[in-house]
Amino acid sequence: MTNGTGFDNMQEPTERDPAKRRRGIYLLPNLFTTAGLFAGFYAIVAAIGDRYEAAAIAIFIAMVMDGLDGRVARMTNTQSDFGKEYDSLVDMVAFGLAPALVVYEWALQPLGKLGWLAAFIYAAATALRLARFNTQSSADKRYFQGLASPAAAALIAGMVWAAEVSGVTGADLPYIALIITVIAGVLMVSNVLYRSFKDIDFRGKVPFFTVVVIMLVFVLISMNPAYVLLIVFVTYAASGPALSVRHLVIKKKQRPISESGEDIKDEDKKEEDKP
């Protein structure tokens, strides 16, 4: 239909039309993501001010926020493409740039070009790790391909925190810090599989003993958080290569058996073919 002016009489949008509703973002999960961004930025500022223990703690706080935002979004059914992209950008700041700059200011700066190259390797590996994670669709959600960036950041932050608590400065451990930084970066872009723990159902029922174990873990961490967290994430970082070596050993043990079995079959066939 047209009106008297000859133009189409187009229907005006109404509030009930879903296509015309004002777009927005979910507040609750993005609040946790923004808190993680703040913690990562604070870690950089604290490291510039030579407050390395506070910087390391801020990175761990960013880890907690990163673990909460996704779970809150899934539990409240508030997932969105905006939240996914925002979370990835925040991860680059909190677990890529922040740990690289903290460890550089703490121990790598006296090494000159070697020091900032090691920090750059870690930051670049974090970006590559996040890009690969966002573009890959893994069928098995129980495992990560490569060390997750929050775990790699915790490895560096745990080292800095434990050293500061024990009275050791970064100037005493420049090469150890360099090796750990490069190893963390390499593990992130490797094909080593790590357990993701995404298959754990936090909304389901668990045995009473599980609650007791969780309580004991919190007590253990509270006794000396710097050392306990460092041990936990060093163990987790080493678990991937250890499992890979174990799988290779099992495959090598199985191959001679299968090959010998084929050889026996071939010899039996030769004996049967003889007159």
d(CA 194, CA 236): 8
Does residue 197 or residue 82 have the better pLDDT?
82
The sign of the torsion formed by the CA atoms of 130, 131, 135, 139 equals negative
Vertex 104 angle, CA 242 and 42, to 5°: 100
Q: Is the pLDDT of residue 203 over 80?
A: no
Q: Is the pLDDT of residue 125 over 90?
A: yes
134-164 pLDDT, tens digit each: 887 665 677 888 999 999 999 999 999 999 9
Percent of the chain with pLDDT over 70: 80
Which residues, at least 6 apart from 110, have a Cβ–Cβ distance to it below 8 Å?
171, 174
pTM summary value:
0.80
d(CA 268, CA 188): 50
The sign of the torsion formed by the CA atoms of 64, 70, 76, 82 equals positive
Q: Report the chain's mean pLDDT, rounded to a whole number.
A: 84
Q: Is the pLDDT of residue 22 over 90?
A: no
pLDDT band at 15 (very low <50, low <70, confident <90, very high): very low
- Cα distance from N-terminal residue to C-terminal residue, the chain: 96
Domain extents for the chain? 25-255
pLDDT band at 268 (very low <50, low <70, confident <90, very high): very low
CB 46 within 8 A of CB 55: yes
CB 174 within 8 A of CB 111: yes
Give whole-number Cα distances, 196 to 146, 229, 236, 258, in Å. 10, 17, 11, 33
CB 153 within 8 A of CB 86: no
Least confident of 68-77, 153-162, 166-175, 200-209: 200-209
Q: Is the pLDDT of residue 4 over 70?
A: no
Q: Is the pLDDT of residue 31 over 60?
A: yes
- Concatenated DSSP letters of 65-109: HHHHHHHHHHHTT---HHHHHHHHHHHHIIIIIHHHHHHIIIIIG
**How is domain 25-255 classified at the CATH fold level?**
Four Helix Bundle (Hemerythrin (Met), subunit A) (1.20.120)
59-116 pLDDT, tens digit each: 999 999 998 988 888 888 888 888 889 999 999 999 999 999 999 999 999 999 999 9
Does residue 14 or residue 242 have the better pLDDT?
242
Question: What does the radius of gyration of the chain's CA atoms come to, in whole angstroms?
Answer: 26
d(CA 188, CA 145): 8
In this prediction, residue 199 carries a pLDDT of 65
Q: Is the pLDDT of residue 19 over 70?
A: no
In this prediction, residue 265 carries a pLDDT of 47
Phi, psi of 4 (to 5 degrees): -65, -20
